[in-house]
Structure 1
Amino acid sequence: MLNDFTWNMTGYIPKHQVNPHGDGIIPYVAERIFQLEPEPPSVGNLNEYILSALHEKNLLHFSFFLHHYEPQLNKRIKSFLGVDGGDLYDTDRFLDIKLSCREQMLQKLMDYDPAKGAEYATYIFPFIRDAMLRFRMGEEKWSVSSLTNYKMVRSMAWLYHNTKDAVNEFSKKYNCDLALAEEYLKVVRGIRNQQPFYVTDEDGEETGEDVALDDSWNYTDILWNGIQAEKVQRAFEKLNYREQTLLEKRLAICMTCGRVGSWKNRPTFEDLAVMFEGSTASGAERAYRKAMDKLTELLVAEGAIHAVRLKQKSKTKRKKKITAAIYEYQADCDGEWGEISVDFENGTAEIIRLADWDTIKTNWFANEAIRYILSLSPDALKKYMLVPLEPPLIS
């Protein structure tokens, strides 16, 4: 039992202050809440931390494991949120899920048996996924009696959406009678109009298929939830053939009819490079990014969306880490540039000069630029970025 363990953190403190200014936790810090200072002692393999925790009955070593495992955990949660359709940078929800995962990892620590050959990170993998599913199960309007039933409902939803005879396929998969399969199908049909939900494929992996959508599809609804289809179509038609093909293939959407395909089967950049002979995967990706930026500019010109253009003017480093930077920003790809100073260490920013077309009352474009910059690791930020924004209620 974990009651027999100690968790003595003497000599170690969190590397980032959780709430330095009383304004809540920013995304940059939320993704680093398990980081410690000083750096934990080096080991040859992360599993050594877990073995030490079990041998010494001291969860200090579990904290060392979390320190190094945190980027991988963040990646899994972001992937889950992206498929789930939620806001990737809803910090409170991100943290709630993250702490739920940590609780599950702690609970399963005592069940881990190194003698079976699997490292702890491999062993805990399915339990982290269960923790995220259990969290979402608690959020949704519909509910079932257990996580097992929840998974089976989602499995039936996938079969219903992707096979001709979901009842028979479900019966074979779970070795159950047809009557039970019919009951699960009734549950799926009953929740279709209550709340969108995403399902697992036959291998248990999350897919981007929203089975709450009706069997028919609507062009206007599909295209970015409310952006006028006519404006999108006009902007798209101004792209050249290569740009149109890259976007349609990679985004798995037909811009003529509005039909959306499965992202699971969309072509990789390697596939796209083959389509355009003489290109490499990295070249195809660069071409795709340029096409996305061009379409964004065209949509801004059509009045369908807003966007903020960012240019890194200067940066400050300490021990090879970017600690501060100054960015120029442009509202809706037009007019004079404004300027923003960003302090990554403290998670703060200051508007030095407003750009043309930014709103004096709300500074909406500048604040959206700051939110985006602080949502990413400083090392992930590029010198030039074009960020599409949802239309605001600007006053």
Structure 2
Amino acid sequence: MLNDFTWNMTGYIPKHRVNLHGDGIPPYVAERIFQLEPKPPQVDSLNEYILSALQEKNLLYFSFFLHHYELQLNKRIKSFLGMDGGDLYDTDRFLDIKLSCREQMLQKLMDYDPAKGAEYATYIFPFIRDAMLRFRMGEEKWSVSSLTNYKMVRSMAWLCQNTKDAVSEFAKKYNCDLALAEEYLKVVRGIRNQQPFYVTDENGEETGEDVALDDTWNYTDILWNGIQAEKVQRAFEKLNYREQTLLEKRLAVYMACGRVSSWKDRATFEELAVKFEGSTASGAERAYRRAVDKLAELLVAEGALHAVWLKQVSRTKRKKKIVAAIYEYQADCDGELGEISLNFEDSTAEIVRLADWDTVKTNKFAIRAIAYLLNCENEKLPKEMMVAFE
């Protein structure tokens, strides 16, 4: 266990200081964050540092390893970021990924067995990639249950783009039945429009090819593919004619048969206002939002969705920026309200009071509400809204 190790850096300091009161960490420093002053003692092989760390149970030698390995690690992260959209110098993200890789390297240090012949740098190679994938998995709008499933979803996406029969190829590759392959295909189709989707090739390497149809959320795909169609249909039929028309025209979907038109063909709010005489574009948009919320409530009643309703109770501003706010929330459109207090300066939140039906152990409704609010643009924090989730 690493608890048995020491990490005594006496005599060594970071070569490049981080000015916490400046404008952030510059790229030059982020790429040299593991450099030490003075330089570590010379060895014939970097693996000697790792062997010394294990033998003496002192992570000082692990820091020596990082000092020399940092350049290679930087190249791997840059390559990963280049495939993932080209944000090579979003410095905060670069550094977050880098520290995630270091954490993974530390966790795997105890599993390293030099007797098997591979040097530590070779042994750790696939685990660094897993750390980067796990980091991105946490960033993306969609999620799966494990990193293994995440890789398989991306593999299916690559097969969809590059083979004629993705299901058969997937079943052959993972030695699984066709039914399981079909399930992965459904997942890929359901998420393909949630965000740019960079897939992996047959060797697990990123191709840099975006398989998304566009870079916007496609609520139609999420709705039709992610929820049982029967429940959606029952809920939809409970809406009035105007609400049904607003949803169908705006989402470019025909609920009677499930046919989806091009996202570019969806009606604008100006066109919807003309259809319902006496309405303005802003009025049509408000009516559409109300129809979305009503449909969400009906889907909650059908057991197809969960939803958390939010209402801002108070907020505190400093220099025109909201620094704190209190929200009431309700779980699944029923029961007594709970309360959440948020501090946007340090991105923290406190559950003041749980709503009825919120789970005591996981607080899943409160957690969902907090995650949504902390990720909102500060000037666009909602006064009142409903957040639906599966």
TM-score by length of 2: 0.54
SS at match of 2:124: helix
Residue 213 of structure 1 deviates from its aligned partner by: 3.3
Q: Residue 18 of structure 1: CA displacement?
A: 1.2
What's the secondary structure of 1:150's corresponding residue? helix
Q: Does 1:13 align with 2:13?
A: yes
Residue 193 (structure 1) aligned with residue 193 (structure 2): yes
Whole-angstrom CA distance in 2 between matches of 1:197 and 1:126: 21
- Aligned position for 1:126: 126
1:56 is matched with which residue? 56
Structure 1: where are the runs of 5+ without partners? 215-395
Q: How does 1:252-291 map to 2 (within 5 A)?
A: none
How far apart in 1 are the matches of 2:33 and 2:158?
Answer: 35
Residue by residue over 1:357-387, the C-alpha shift from the partner in whole angstroms, topping out at 9 and shown as x without a partner, is: xxxxxxxxxxxxxxxxxxxxxxxxxxxxxxx
- Equivalents in 2 of 1:23, 1:88: separation in Å? 18
Counterpart mapping for 1:192-271 below 5 A:
192-213=192-213
Residue 115 (structure 2) pairs with residue 115 (structure 1) = yes
Residue 22 (structure 1) shift: 2.2
Q: What is the CA-CA distance between 1:19 and the residue it aligns to? A: 1.4
Distance 1:206 1:93 in 2: 18
User: Matches of residues 86-101 of structure 1 in structure 2 within 5 Å?
Assistant: 86-101=86-101
Alignment partner, residue 295 of structure 1: none
How many Å separate the matches in 2 of 1:25 and 1:76?
Answer: 20
Q: Deviations over 1:65-94 (max 9, x none)?
A: 000000000000000000000411000000
Aligned partner letter, 1:152: M
1:37: which partner in 2? Answer: 37
TM-score normalized by the length of structure 1: 0.54
Distance 1:102 1:197 in 2: 26
Q: Shift in Å at residue 208 of structure 1?
A: 1.2
Corresponding residue number in structure 2 for 1:67: 67
SS of equivalent to 1:199: strand
Corresponding position of 2:271: none
Structure 2 runs not aligned, ≥5 long: 215-390
Give, in angstroms, the shift of residue 21 of structure 1. Answer: 5.3
| Counterpart Cα distance in 1 of 2:139 and 2:167 | 27
Q: Give, in whole Å, the separation in 1 of the partners of 2:123 and 2:140.
A: 28
Once superposed, what is the RMSD of the aligned Cα atoms? 0.9
Any idea what the Cα deviations from partners look like across 1:97-121, whole Å, max 9, x if unmatched? 0000000000000000000000000
The 1-side partners of 2:157 and 2:192 are apart by 9
Q: Secondary structure at the match of 2:108?
A: helix
SS in 2 for 1:11: coil
Q: What letter is aligned with 1:65?
A: F
Deviation, structure 1 residue 20: 6.5
Q: Secondary structure at the match of 1:43?
A: coil
Q: For residue 202 of structure 1, report the CA deviation from its aligned partner.
A: 0.5
Identity rate, percent: 93
Aligned length: 214
What CA distance in whole angstroms lies between the structure 2 residues aligned with 1:20 and 1:202? 43
SS in structure 2 opposite 1:25?
Answer: coil
Task: Give the match for residue 159 of structure 2.
Answer: 159
